[in-house]
A = this chain, B = another copy of it.
Amino acid sequence: MNQEKMNELKKWMASENIDLTYISDPGHIAYFSGYKSDPHERVLALFISLNHDPFLFTPALEVEDAEKSSWTYPVYGYLDSENPWEKIAQLIKKNGVPTKIATEKDALTVSRFDILTNYFPNSDFSASVTPVIEKLQLLKTSSEVTKLMEAGDWADVALEIGFKAIKEGAKEQEILAEIEYQLKRQGIRSMSFDTLVLTGKNAASPHGNPGNTAVAKQDLVLFDLGVVYNGYCSDVTRTVAYKEPTDFQKEIYSIVLEAQLKAMDAVKPGVTAGELDEVARGVISGYGYGDYFNHRLGHGIGTTVHEYPSLVTGNDLVIEEGMCFSIEPGIYIPEKVGVRIEDCLHVTKNGCEAFTKTPKELMIID
C-alpha cells in the first residue's frame, strides 16, 4: 500500500472539491493499494474518499488474497451471482451521495461509466483522474528506483541466458523458452510483455512474432524483454551477431548505437522529451535512415511497462530528476536487417543512470 501517493491524490481531490475517486485500472489499483490482480471481466475497484476510509472492491474469490496483501483498509467482495454495481453504490452511499466523482477516463469503459453515472444521476462525473495518476507516477521515489534497478538486473540475467542459448539452428522460440524457463525457476512470476527473440530478417519487424526461424550464420538476433519484479517492470533490447557480421550490418548497428548513446548523453533535467527524440532521430536521419526509424524514442516505465512520459517529436514535457523511461532507437529495413538498442533509466541530478548494464558494443557470438 502506498499511503504517501494516496495522500497526494487526496490533495488534488481537495483542491478540486472531489469527494470520491474511482480507480479501475488494475495496474493503478496495485500502485495505490499494493494488491495486484487481473480480474478479467469481473469487477476490481479502488475507491478513495476525501473524508472517509478508502476501500477495495473485489470478486469474492479474491477477498482473502486482498486482505493478505499490504492493503490495510476494508476489502469488500461480491459473488458472481450478485450485481457488483448495486453493492458498490450501497457502499458509497453509506457516507452520503458524493457531489463530484473522478474516474479514470483513459481506463474505464463506456459501459461501466454509464452504469455508475446511472446510480448517481446528480453527481458530477466530469473530472478525469488519469492525468493526475500519470503525474504521480512520473516522478519515482528512491525506493521505486531501487525496485526498477532490481527488475533491470533480472533483465540483464535474461539477456545472458539468451546469448548463451544462441547456436546454429536454435529456433527463436527455443531461445525464448530457455530464457523464461531459467527465470521462472528462479522465481520470476511474469515477464513484462511477451518476450521477443527475432533473428535475421524477422528482426526488421519491430513487433514481430518469434517462431520457428532458426539462427543462421551472419544473422543479427534481436532480444526485447523484461520482467516484473516486486511489482516493477524492466524492458531492455539488445541486438547481437551470430558469426562475423557483414559490413552493412555493422554500419547499421553502429548508427543505432551512436543514436542511443547520444540520446542517453542528452538526458538531464531541463531537456524536453521531444528534444531527446530529436537527438536520436537526427543521428539516424543524418546517415539517411530516418524513414526506417518508425517509432518514438521511448516510453515511461514503472509498475507498467508503457507509461507516461512519451518520448516523441513535439512533446514539450520538461524532463525532471526521478523520471524513468526507455531510450530505444532502431533501424528496420524490411527483408534486410533490424537493429534496436534499448535501456531504461532514471534521471539523476545531472544526467541519468540506466537500469540495465549489458554491454552495447556489438557482440559477436561464435
Contact = CB atoms under 8 A, between A and B. Distances in A.
A40 B206 CA distance: 14
A278 B310 CA distance: 50
Contact of A173 (B114, B128, B184, B296): B184
Contact of A177 (B38, B107, B181, B207): B181
The range of chain A's interface size is 35 or more
A343 interface: no
A15 interface: no
Contacts of A294: 60-61, 79
Interface string A110-129: 11011000000000000010
A113 to B, nearest CB: 5
A129 B130 CA distance: 26
A160 interface: no
Contacts of A206: 61
Main secondary structure of the interface of A (DSSP, over half): loop
Interface in A169-216: 173-174, 176-178, 180-181, 183-185, 187, 189-190, 193-194, 205-212
A306 B173 contact: no
A184 B312 CA distance: 35
A184 B180 contact: yes
A161 to B, nearest CB: 12
A62 interface: yes
A295 interface: yes
Nearest to A177: B184
Interface string A296-330: 10000000011000101110000000000000000
A310 B305 CA distance: 32
A65 interface: yes
A304 to B, nearest CB: 9
A14 interface: no
One complex includes copies of this chain to the number of: 2
A106 interface: yes
A174 B184 CA distance: 7
Interface in A326-362: 332, 334
A173 B187 contact: yes
A80 interface: yes
B62 A207 contact: yes
Contact of A108 (B64, B110, B187, B314): B110
Contacts of A269: none
Contact of A207 (B37, B107, B113, B193): B37
A109 interface: yes
A295 B60 contact: yes
A59 interface: yes
Contacts of A33: none
Interface of A: 37-38, 40-41, 59-62, 64-65, 79-81, 103, 105-111, 113-114, 128, 130, 173-174, 176-178, 180-181, 183-185, 187, 189-190, 193-194, 205-212, 294-296, 305-306, 310, 312-314, 332, 334
Given A81-B313, A81-B314, A181-B181, 9 more contacts: A65-B209, A80-B312, A105-B109, A105-B111, A106-B109, A108-B109, A173-B184, A177-B183, A180-B180
12 contacts: A37-B207, A40-B306, A41-B306, A61-B207, A79-B294, A80-B295, A81-B314, A106-B109, A111-B130, A173-B189, A177-B185, A187-B212
